[in-house]
Amino acid sequence: MEDWKTNRNVFWTLATPGTLWLIAFFLVPLAFLFVLSFSSKAMIDGQISINQYDYFSGLTNYLRSFNPDIVSIFIRTLWWSALATLACLIIAYPIAFGICFAPDRWRPLLLMLIVLPFWINLLIRTYALMAVLRDNGLVNSALGAVGLGPLPLMNNTFGVIFGLVYVYMPFMVLPLYATIERLDKSFLEASLDLGGTQFQTFRNITLPLTMPGIVTGVVLVFIPCLGTFLTSELLGGTSSWMIGNVIQSQFGPANDWPFGSALSLLLMYATFAVLAVRAFLSRNSKGVDV
Amino acid sequence: MTVHRPFPRFTRRSLLKGTGAAFAGLVLSPRFAMAEEEKKLSFYNYDTYIGETTLDDFNKATGIEVKLDLFADGDELFTKLKAGNPGYDVIVPTSNVVERMVKANMLMPLDHAKIPNMKNIDPSFLNPTFDPGRKYSLPYQWGTVGIGYRKSKVEGAPDSWKWLLDDEKYAGRIALLGDQEHAIGAALKYLGFSYNSTNIDELNKARDLLIKGKKLVKKYADDNGQDLLAQGEVDLTMEYNGDIAQVMTEDDDLSYVIPKEGSNVWEDTIAIPTGAPHPENAHAFINYIFDGEVGKGITKTIMYATPNAAAKALMDEAYQNNPAIFPPADVLAKCEYSAYLGEEAVKVRDEIWTAIQAA
Amino acid sequence: MAALLKPGQGPLDYGKRRWLRAVFVAVLVMLYTPILVLIAYSFNIQNRGGIWKGFTLENYAKAWHNSDLMSALLNSLSIAFISTIFATVIGAMVAVLLWRFRFPGKAAYEGAMALPIVIPEICMGVAMLLFYARTGMMTGMTHLPWPLNLGTPSPSPTSPCFPFVAVVVRSRLVGFNRQLEEASKDLGASEWQTFTRILIPYMMPGLVAGALLAFTLSLDDFVITFFTSGPETVTFPVKIYSMVKTGVKYEVNAASTILIVITIVATVIAMKLQAPDKAGH
């Protein structure tokens, strides 16, 4: 890595577009959100206003966020996101592995087969999933034909987690594929030649070397899961609200944008905490550069 | 330190303003060149809530091209317009949303002189509490909230909210409307309180009832309970009457009843939001809708109760005497309009709704 | 372990393992069944019961004549295209910057660049809504003629996309042998020549993967556009959302099928275009 002073022109050329974009279309809008989170609806003529705000009026919105109902929805969100991420990892790893070790000419096609459904819009896919999972849907009709079921596949927790896995798996497959493909196969050969079993090789060689891909994949899946509100709304039952649904309701029916802003920012901070833990762990691991 | 400036000083603001004005001039000038508004109109409505050919016919009659954009519920409409009207001319807010929007200066007063077809409106609709004198809104459709059910799967008519909220018999075969206004409102009605209660004890009782009843309910549906019913996913659903009436035409096994405790009666209105780019066209469109024949065309498609007396008179008797569309007066007497209760009440209800979702 | 291997199967021929193939097939079935059902139902006669009533093409005719639905489709594709270009270029530049240079405040800069990934879409949507409302862009831009009016919804999906591209490209760059670059410069190549001839070809798989990801994300974007679209800039998902929420319509299936076909055709073309390039390596 070189110091930025060694080649200032290149440095500034590379740095300018991203930085400007980030400021104009990201940090400035975020600043609006930040300001609003410390605001409250203005009182006008003794009535709470619908669309006027008192800016910087205190921490009320943050204090309200520690209401037990909100906390329990928050915990539910973390738990479900973790489950969905784990399921994605377990399914995606063998898939990515299989693609990487497939014959060269098959590889792009296989990768495309896995990735193609994810080019289809999330909403359309969720809509498609609903038609398959419902009580009289394809799966339960098939089960019914052999005298089984119907199984409750949606309008419950299973539905939400299945939906999340279905929707976000490419974010796991792609980075895993990228790292496994780069993996130096001679390490594996060496391990096997030296008498290591397949399992030992996987545990001691493959897994540590592909850890960067795993970490990237976990982050890429876990984070959108945290902000979910469509999947939980469409595939969930009566106890399926995640924090995204609460936020949406604040910007919709409840018309409490300041509280919604505070919740959004808290969700963001929680994500930062996850990332900090990840950064700490990777610093202590054996120097795997992510 | 003074700096000599050879050129007039441009602040960033003035520069932006200048560029903006130049740009606007470039784009907008053809509009000003014309004597009247361009022949365009942007209509923001619920889906399947207008006659199949109404917009095309309006285009043929006036040359104005209507762009239809859809919202899923009144809250979405409100959120969208709250941040500044992005270009809608005619919108369809429900009565309580009208009240809220008027308070927030989000609606443009109507010029009644430009809507001569107002004479077709049933006079009983002309002075509602939410919009005295109809300054901002005109009645588009009205209806009730009740219970849609599958006759072959349910013993007798489910004529009480008890069937949905407080009876194990059909556990897991029930859908409720998934919004705080109606779910909490129905629970309040069942407990003998007002749909619009702001009493915290009453609201807490409704909350406890709904939390206890969660195990009975399969889904808090987003206004698609009629589909869940038609697909056989549920046997009982809380829904708007017109939605059930639409699926009843496809399936004889379905029916609709208003619970004996009373329910909600609602009115969707037609209004012009502040900042509408084509207010003249908007008035012309509103006037067009209240024409008798046009109103009939709309009603035939969407099967809701019309406040357009001329249109109703043109419909057949099956429609005029349909109790699912026009409930008997004694039933209607027990139903309440949803009122706009103020932001504090909205907040309380939202907290209750969150608690129900969290439980 | 060897007992599990069939004759002619080396220890590294994981691609030939039966169980791996079984997992692969199972996942494909899971992925494609809902989509195939969706496509099949686009040919179904409209009914609310969700049962098969018979073959028809009427849904396609309906979707085709629904000019609002069609313009939403066009808007979605245009926005995805525009924001993919922006996201890929900016994302790749950021990736190279972070990979190549050491500079003061780098950790903070990296953190800021990761922000758009970590922020929930819904916050982003509302933040953009506030931003457009306050700067007057909401009411100003939407009246401009197409495609200038896409100026409001287009940046929204780009912001979360370009850091994704940066992540993907950078994880590719980690394996780059810097001596190649030095060799190129030693042989008299300029900074630009080195960049275009050495670095970009090396980054290409990362760029393609990143661009695909960006395109996916943009087409996927519902939440942000939901908040920032006006009557002329409604995108396909926003349109679908309002249609789906109020009932089953096979018109939606038909339009979705059209989008799926467009996607597949575009993919095949992209693969064909890449093929000779691959052979050249």
B75 near C CB under 8 A: no
Contacts of C30 (CB under 8 A, 6+ apart): A166
Q: Does B287 score more than 90 pLDDT?
A: yes
pLDDT, position B8: 39
C90, C115, C209 member nearest A18 (Cβ): C90
A246 near B CB under 8 A: yes
A163 near C CB under 8 A: no
B204 near C CB under 8 A: no
B75, B219, B220 member nearest A253 (Cβ): B75
Maximum Cα–Cα distance across chain A: 83
pLDDT, tens only, B79-124: 888 877 888 999 999 999 999 999 889 999 999 999 999 999 999 9
Determine, for residues B103 and A233 on separate chains, whether the beta-carbon distance falls below 8 Å: no
Average pLDDT rounded to a whole number, residues C270-280: 51
Average pLDDT rounded to a whole number, residues C128-137: 74
B71 near C CB under 8 A: yes
C47 near A CB under 8 A: no
Average pLDDT rounded to a whole number, residues B42-61: 90
B25 near C CB under 8 A: no
C58 near B CB under 8 A: no
Q: Which residues of C touch A224 (CB under 8 A)?
A: 121
Contacts of C177 (CB under 8 A, 6+ apart): none
Q: Does B135 score more than 70 pLDDT?
A: yes
Q: Does C7 score more than 60 pLDDT?
A: no
Degrees to nearest 5, angle at CA B249 with B246 and B253: 110
Q: Which residues of C touch B240 (CB under 8 A)?
A: none
More confident residue, C131 or A67: A67
Question: Residue C20: which pLDDT band, with cuts at 50, 70 and 90?
Answer: confident
Q: Which residues of A touch B103 (CB under 8 A)?
A: 50
pLDDT, position B27: 42
Q: State the nearest Cα–Cα gap between B98 and chain C, in angstroms.
A: 20
Coil, helix or strand for A2? Answer: strand
C131/C135 Cα distance (integer angstroms): 6
Under 8 Å between Cβ of C73 and C148: no
Determine, for residues B344 and A48 on separate chains, whether the beta-carbon distance falls below 8 Å: yes
pLDDT, position B176: 94
Highest mean pLDDT among B6-20, B41-55, B76-90, B136-150: B136-150
pLDDT, position B196: 92
The answer for B 177-216 residues in CB contact with A (under 8 A) is 179-181, 214
The answer for C 198-257 residues in CB contact with B (under 8 A) is 227, 229-232, 234, 239, 241-248
Average pLDDT rounded to a whole number, residues B288-293: 94
Contacts of B151 (CB under 8 A, 6+ apart): B253, B254, B255
Q: How many residues does chain A have?
A: 290
Mean pLDDT of chain A: 85
Determine, for residues B354 and A241 on separate chains, whether the beta-carbon distance falls below 8 Å: yes
Coil, helix or strand for B314? Answer: helix
Q: Which residues of B touch C68 (CB under 8 A)?
A: 67-69
pLDDT < 50 regions, chain A:
286-290
Question: Residue B146: which pLDDT band, with cuts at 50, 70 and 90?
Answer: very high
pLDDT, position C149: 64
A288 near C CB under 8 A: no
Alpha-carbon separation of residue A33 from A259, C108, C117 (angstroms): 10, 20, 17
pLDDT, position A277: 73
A261 near B CB under 8 A: no
Q: State the nearest Cα–Cα gap between A242 and chain B, in angstroms.
A: 9
Q: Which residues of A touch B171 (CB under 8 A)?
A: none
Mean pLDDT of chain B: 86
Question: Residue C142: which pLDDT band, with cuts at 50, 70 and 90?
Answer: low
CA B341 to chain centre: 17
Q: Which of A43-47, B262-266, C21-25 is predicted with the least confidence, judged by mean pLDDT?
A: A43-47
Q: Which residues of C touch B275 (CB under 8 A)?
A: 139
pLDDT, position B10: 39
A238 near B CB under 8 A: yes
Determine, for residues C127 and A260 on separate chains, whether the beta-carbon distance falls below 8 Å: no
Highest mean pLDDT among A171-175, B230-234, B268-272: B268-272
Determine, for residues C246 and B71 on separate chains, whether the beta-carbon distance falls below 8 Å: no
B84 near A CB under 8 A: no
C68, C130, C245 member nearest B224 (Cβ): C245
pLDDT, tens only, C66-102: 888 888 888 888 888 888 888 899 999 998 888 888 8
Q: So what's the ipTM on this one?
A: 0.85
Chain A residue with Cα closest to C32: A117
Q: Does C12 score more than 70 pLDDT?
A: no
Q: Does B239 score more than 90 pLDDT?
A: yes
Q: Which residues of C touch A269 (CB under 8 A)?
A: none
Q: Which residues of C touch A265 (CB under 8 A)?
A: 123
Determine, for residues B87 and C242 on separate chains, whether the beta-carbon distance falls below 8 Å: no
Burial environment of residue B98 by CB neighbours within 10 A (0 to 12, 13 to 18, 19 or more) = buried
Q: Which residues of A touch B235 (CB under 8 A)?
A: none
Average pLDDT rounded to a whole number, residues B49-62: 91
Q: Which residue has the tokens 């407080």?
A: B166
Q: State the nearest Cα–Cα gap between C183 and chain A, in angstroms.
A: 16
B243/C48 Cα distance (integer angstroms): 11
pLDDT, position B237: 95
Determine, for residues A253 and B218 on separate chains, whether the beta-carbon distance falls below 8 Å: no
Q: Does B38 score more than 80 pLDDT?
A: yes
Dump the DSSP string for B169-222.
GGTTSEEEE-SHHHHHHHHHHHTT--TT---HHHHHHHHHHHHHGGGGEEEEES
The answer for B 256-275 residues in CB contact with C (under 8 A) is 275
pLDDT, position B106: 92
Q: Which residues of C touch A203 (CB under 8 A)?
A: none
Alpha-carbon separation of residue A39 from A61, A184, A261, B329, C128 (angstroms): 8, 55, 10, 47, 18
C12 near A CB under 8 A: yes
A223/A240 Cα distance (integer angstroms): 18
Determine, for residues B47 and C243 on separate chains, whether the beta-carbon distance falls below 8 Å: yes
Under 8 Å between Cβ of A244 and C120: yes
A188 near C CB under 8 A: yes
pLDDT, position B28: 41
Q: State the nearest Cα–Cα gap between A195 and chain C, in angstroms.
A: 11
pTM reported for the whole predicted model: 0.84
Under 8 Å between Cβ of B62 and B76: no
Q: Which of B191-200, C4-13, C226-235, C261-270 is predicted with the least confidence, judged by mean pLDDT?
A: C4-13
B94/B104 Cα distance (integer angstroms): 15
pLDDT, position C150: 67
A275/C19 Cα distance (integer angstroms): 34
Pairing between β-strand A2-3 and β-strand C101-102 as defined by DSSP bridges: parallel
pLDDT, position B55: 92
DSSP H or E stretch at residue B219 = strand B217-221
C139 near B CB under 8 A: yes
Query: What letter would DSSP give residue A120?
Result: S
Neighbours of chain A (3+ CB pairs under 8 A): B, C
C17/C31 Cα distance (integer angstroms): 21
pLDDT, position B21: 43
Q: Which residues of B touch C48 (CB under 8 A)?
A: 226-227, 230-231, 247, 250-251
